[in-house]
Every structure is written in structure tokens, then in C-alpha cells.
């Protein structure tokens, strides 16, 4: 079976391509991923738990990345052994088209199962594969849009702000649970996002007036 769709990401093509090769990003986006570790330049080992119909299985296997057509295209493939449940394998071919500062990501995904899983029927396997592909790319879009951290930490809004003469950049946010501020600020993806915006990470100054702001 083959699943095709596209999403528009508010980032440059190079940034999107870089993220597709980032193990931390992939781990966040792969449904049910518990472990993902790089064992070679383009080789990863993974442990994923999935529920397909009435069958729930933990798969251990390998993921292969193919960045040879960078930055216009990217492919990944994987195969996992679920023990008595059988095996699952699949992959996705991605094309990246830069469009006015954004990137149109088109993907074509395939999936195949064997053993007990294959006995569940082609229709159920197809609908599950479509759901998992959609979940991966929806999560990827949220990561690239900076939304994933906001959801996880209960942050309602996050802004990058410059002072009047634009010599310094600060940020401000509204968070539901103040006790989670430290965890939010220590998140590696949040740190990266703030750094890329030019935020002074060691500053805790409170601005009484915001002259210029930009929503990330």
C-alpha cells in the first residue's frame, strides 16, 4: 500500500532537511517510539510499541536514512521484529520544495506486515499505516512550528521581543503551571529555539514595555 500527502512547514528547506536527519526530532515524531539511537552515519536502532487493531507489540529494529539527494529529497526505511506478533517494515520518500520562505513537504509512505499482524486483514493494516504516517508528519509540523514544546509544558503563548534600539532580544511566555517553567527552559528544543531567535538566555530582566514582538 502507498500513502501520499503533503504539508507546508514555516521553515526553510535546509532547516527542514536538517530536522529530518535529527535523531531527537525523529524520536519525537515516530508514533510509539521509546528508543532511537544512531549507530552509524545513516543507521539507527529503534524500539517502538504499536497497537494495530487488537494486537499490541513492541518492535525492535533498524531505521535507515538516505540523505543522498539533499536538500531536495530525503528517504527513510525501517524494519522491526515484533516477536510472536510478526514483523513490520516500511518507509517514506520525501521531497522538499522551498516556496517563499516556507517548505512544501510531499511524502509517499509504504508499509508491510507479516506473521500474526498480516492476518488482521489488508483494510485494517492500510488504515493503521495511513494513521501512523499522518501522526508522524503532523507531529513533525508541530515540532518545526515550535508548537510541540508549548503543548507539553502548558505554554499558551511565546514571544521573542527586542528592546527599543534592538540591541538585545528577550522572550516572554504565559504558562499555566509556574512550577514547570524551569523544565520548559531546560528543554533542548526550547533552548535551540530561543538561541536561534537571539534571546539572551542568562537574562531574567522584566520588560515593562514591549516595543517590538514577533510570534514564533
Residue 132 and residue 31 share a domain: yes
pLDDT of residue 16: 93
CA distance 73 to 2: 18
Please report, for the domain that includes residue 128, its CATH number.
Answer: 3.30.530.20
Q: Could you tell me which residue, 138 or 179, shows the higher pLDDT? A: 138
pLDDT-derived band at 203 (thresholds 50, 70, 90) equals low
Which neighbouring-strand residues pair with 65? 76
**102 and 139 both lie in a single domain:** yes
Same domain, 116 and 60: yes
- Do 18 and 59 lie in one domain? The reply is yes
Q: Does the pLDDT at position 200 exceed 50?
A: yes
pTM to 2 decimals? 0.67
Q: How confident is the model at residue 179 (pLDDT cuts 50, 70, 90)?
A: confident
Contact of 78 with 46, CB cutoff 8 Å: yes
Q: Please say which residue of 145, 165, 185 terminates a domain.
A: 145
Q: What percentage of the chain has pLDDT greater than the value 70?
A: 75
Same domain, 159 and 140: no
Residue 95: domain span: 2-145
Domain C-terminal end among 145, 176, 207: 145
On whether both 154 and 138 belong to a single domain, the answer is no
Q: What is the pLDDT of residue 142?
A: 84
19 and 119 both lie in a single domain: yes
How far, in Å, are 1, 81, 98, 103, 119 from residue 123 at the CA level? Answer: 10, 21, 35, 32, 11
The reply to whether 121 and 27 lie within a common domain is: yes
Element (H, E) at 92: strand 87-99
Q: 124-139 pLDDT, tens per residue?
A: 888 988 999 999 999 8
Please give the mean pLDDT across all residues of the chain.
Answer: 81
Helix (H) or strand (E) holding 6: strand 2-9
- Examine the fold and report which residue of 122, 145, 168 is the final residue of a domain before the chain moves on: 145
Number of domains in the chain: 2
Verify that 128 and 210 share a domain, yes or no: no
> Based on the domain organization, do 52 and 134 belong to the same domain?
yes
What pLDDT digit, counting tens, does each position of 107-121 carry? 999 888 888 888 888
Same domain membership, residue 34 and residue 141: yes
Amino acid at each position: 500500500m502507498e500513502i501520499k500527502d503533503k504539508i507546508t512547514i514555516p521553515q526553510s528547506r535546509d532547516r527542514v532537511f536538517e530536522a529530518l536527519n535529527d535523531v531527537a526530532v525523529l524520536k519525537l515524531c515516530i508514533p510509539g517510539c521509546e528508543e532511537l539511537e544512531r549507530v552509524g552515519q545513516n543507521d539507527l536502532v529503534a524500539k517502538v510499541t504499536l497497537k494495530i487493531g487488537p494486537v499490541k507489540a513492541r518492535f525492535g529494529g533498524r531505521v535507515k536514512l538516505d540523505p543522498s539527494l539533499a536538500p531536495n529529497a530525503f528517504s527513510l526505511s525501517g524494519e522491526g521484529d515484533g516477536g510472536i506478533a510478526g514483523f513490520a517494515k516500511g518507509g517514506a520518500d520525501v521531497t522538499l520544495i522551498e516556496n517563499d520562505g516556507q517548505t512544501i513537504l510531499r511524502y509517499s509512505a509504504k508499509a508491510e506486515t507479516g506473521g500474526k499482524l498480516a492476518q488482521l486483514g489488508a483494510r485494517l493494516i492500510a488504515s493503521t499505516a495511513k494513521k501512523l504516517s499522518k501522526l508522524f508528519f503532523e507531529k513533525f509540523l508541530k515540532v518545526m512550528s515550535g508548537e510541540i514544546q508549548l503543548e507539553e509544558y502548558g505554554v499558551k503563548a511565546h514571544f521573542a521581543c527586542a528592546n527599543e534600539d534592538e540591541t538585545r532580544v528577550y522572550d516572554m511566555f504565559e504558562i499555566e503551571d509556574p512550577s514547570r517553567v524551569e523544565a520548559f527552559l531546560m528543554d533542548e528544543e526550547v533552548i535551540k529555539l530561543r538561541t536561534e531567535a537571539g534571546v539572551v538566555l542568562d537574562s531574567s530582566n522584566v520588560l515593562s514595555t514591549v516595543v517590538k514582538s514577533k510570534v514564533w
